[in-house]
Amino acid sequence: MTSQPPAVVRPRAQDPAVLRYGDHPDQWVELWDQGGNAGKGPARGLVLLVHGGYWQAPYTLDLMRPMAADLAARGWAVANIEYRRDAEGRWPVPEEDVRAAIAAVLGSAWAGRHAGPRVSLGHSVGGQLALLTAEAVDAVVALAPVTDVPRVWREGLGQDAARRYFGASPEEAPGAYAAASPLARLPLGRPALVVQGDADDRVPLGHSLAYAAAAEVAGDAVLLEVHAGADHFVVIDPAWEGWGDVVEWMARVEAERG
């Protein structure tokens, strides 16, 4: 049975601020201050969240709000990014949007209030986008990331998501598939944590194993953590036991930066 995304929860007492980085309705970012409280002083660092959904419009930044609330409670400032996808956001629009969103956030007065590392944290296709834009930040966390888009097409993952989104095979559009694949764009050049469950049927474990092996050959500092029994969506639940490993890794990034 295919795993399903968790129910959306908005665990906060007040809405975060909004930063727009373009004219399209999907070009916006939620800005979460640490503790959910503006004016508390500098955060530990800034986390840029990028949601997944196999490039499909029904999946939104709502998926990352529980993580945003958890990270803000831990003292991080958080930017939760929305971007164009589906028919209105054919490749390379998602990468262009995330790159523009990161630039807008990091160039804002809001980000200027917060010292510490800049960390991109993405899930699934959000992990793909975080890896592809790694040069804009200090470190990357990729949760069950899409790293090999031709393989997504060949294996029919996400109910043939690549076939529906790209509208062509890897043989028909090799440039687009290569540009969209973090595996084809190594070295990464930034420390990265890749988190993967061995019960994931939307981005199977073999994808992350292949990416981590290729990254090692390329000389990248990529740590792969595999969690037994974890499916595709549990990795974005801050109540999941493996989430502690993620926040500990980010704390090490913070310590090394400081």
Q: In whole angstroms, what is the distance from residue 20 CA to residue 34 CA?
A: 20
For position 36, what pLDDT does the model report? Answer: 57
| pTM, to two decimals | 0.93
Alpha-carbon gap, residue 35 to 104, rounded angstroms: 22
Mean pLDDT of 18-45: 86
Please report, for residues 18, 41, 75, 226, the alpha-carbon distance to residue 38 in angstroms, rounded to integers and kept in the order given. 13, 8, 12, 36
| Surface-to-core class of residue 125, CB atoms within 10 Å of its CB (0-12 exposed, 13-18 middle, 19+ buried) | buried
Does pLDDT of 254 surpass 60?
Answer: yes
Give 174-228 as a DSSP string.
Answer: HHHHHHT-GGGG----S-EEEEEETT-SSS-HHHHHHHHHHHHHTT--EEEEEET
The Cα 155–Cα 204 span in angstroms is 10
pLDDT value, residue 9: 38
- Strands (DSSP E) found in 136-232: 139-143, 192-197, 222-227
Length of the chain: 258
Residue 31's pLDDT band, with cuts at 50, 70 and 90, is very high
pLDDT of residue 35: 72
Specify the pLDDT at position 40: 61
pLDDT confidence band for 5 (50 / 70 / 90): low
pLDDT above 80: residue 242: yes
Whether 113 shows a pLDDT value over 80: the answer reads: yes
**162: pLDDT strictly greater than 70:** yes
Rounded to 5°, the CA angle 248-249-255 comes to 90
Mean of pLDDT over the chain: 93
Q: Does residue 44 have a pLDDT over 50?
A: yes
pLDDT of residue 34: 86
Domains contained in the chain, CATH given: 17-257 (3.40.50.1820)
- Mean pLDDT in residue range 58-70: 97
Tokens at 246, concatenated: 């993620």
